[in-house]
Amino acid sequence: MRLTVLGAGAIGPAAAVLAVSRGHDVTLWSPSGAGTAALTDGIEAEGALTGRFPLRIPRDLPDALRNAEAALLTVPAYAFPDLLPRIAAALPPRLPLLIAPAASLSPLALDAMLAARGAPAARAPIGAMATTPVTARRPAPERVRVAAIRAAVDLSAVPAVAAPEMGALATELFGHASPVAPNALHAGLSNANPIIHAVMALTNLTRIERGEPWPQYEMMTEAACRLMNDLARERDRIAGAFGITVLPLEESLHRANGVAVGPMHEMAAAIAVSRGAVHGPATMETRYVTEDVPYGLSFTLWLARAKGLSLPVTDAVVTALESLWGRDLRANPLLDALDPAGLDAALARGVGRG
């Protein structure tokens, strides 16, 4: 297939490399241009995939989407407020788009933007992936390290009935199993990163502030994992209020790293042995807080208010991180155009799709 990957940090190029390795023709677009500035017609890969992989680097977003048969959007959630309107203006109505990970109801927010721009009711579905098809780092502008290729990624869609179709598309492109989830809210709640990363930031703040190296999986101690599990239980209450079940944290770690399921701190120790020292963030401007709190934990609190529920542990963690980071971590522009009262209907049918 002709795939366009929107996003050229680390995950986008790694997902592009994976798709090329499976025989697809891939165009890689960088929203700022910085991610592809050092690339001409390909990228070097190391890790789970090795070699040089050909890519087409487009002139602009319309050029990137021209003649594409599928698209993958994979950028940090904090990029969505600026980027989704650009995509809504350029996305061909028949082009299916996957969003990985689909944080904070981003597929539904995009659908609302498309409807507001007069997109046809019969437009292509939007796929909501619970996480990315790969994990990756970008050691140099011309190289990407594919750390791991996921065996399974839960997938839902807007409208919800299109989930099997979008799951088949994701499997064809990236090879992983695509268990069908009931709706796009599942993707927004299933991603374990907001819980794990927020606790890691909270419990390792001084290391982060001082720029010290620290091995994040070794720091997932029994006490830290106890707080993660408390947050997960509150998240599960919200999921149940909307009639869905999400992946346990242990299953998410298993899928991402291949270690046996068990107590989380034991799983983290096994990951540390198998992967070596994976260092946590060493700057306060870390996505563990700037992305995973507003578009993860605070998103969960927004859902709780819609159902009239209280999440005291989640609220306390967000409040503590706001105090420590000295900034508002609750603002989430993606939710401004969404009506909590009409959320169940929108998740089922989409916005303006008839």
Average pLDDT per 10 consecutive residues for the chain, totaling 354 residues: 98 98 98 96 97 98 97 96 96 97 95 95 96 95 95 94 98 97 91 95 98 96 98 97 91 87 96 90 96 96 94 98 98 88 92 90
CATH number at residue 62: 3.40.50.720
Q: How many domains does the chain have?
A: 2
**Integer Cα distance of 334 and 303 in angstroms:** 13
- Taking Cα atoms as reference points, which of 90, 97, 157 lies closest to residue 130? 157
| Residue 260, domain extent | 192-338
Q: Which of 271, 250, 270 is nearest to 190 (CA)?
A: 250
pLDDT (tens digit per residue) in 42-52: 999 999 999 99
| Residue 203 and residue 178 in one domain | no
53/160 same-domain check: yes
SS3 158: strand
And the tokens for 21?
């390795």
Kindly compute the dihedral angle of the four CA atoms of residues 190, 14, 33, 280, in this order, to the nearest 10 degrees: 60
Both tokens of 191, joined, read 């991603």
- Whether residue 72 contacts residue 94, with contact meaning beta carbons closer than 8 Å, is answered with no
Residue 241 sits in a domain whose CATH number is 1.10.1040.10
Are residues 147 and 67 located together in one domain of the fold?
yes
Q: Is residue 167 part of a domain?
A: yes
Q: Which residue has the tokens 């159902």?
A: 307
pTM of the shown model: 0.88
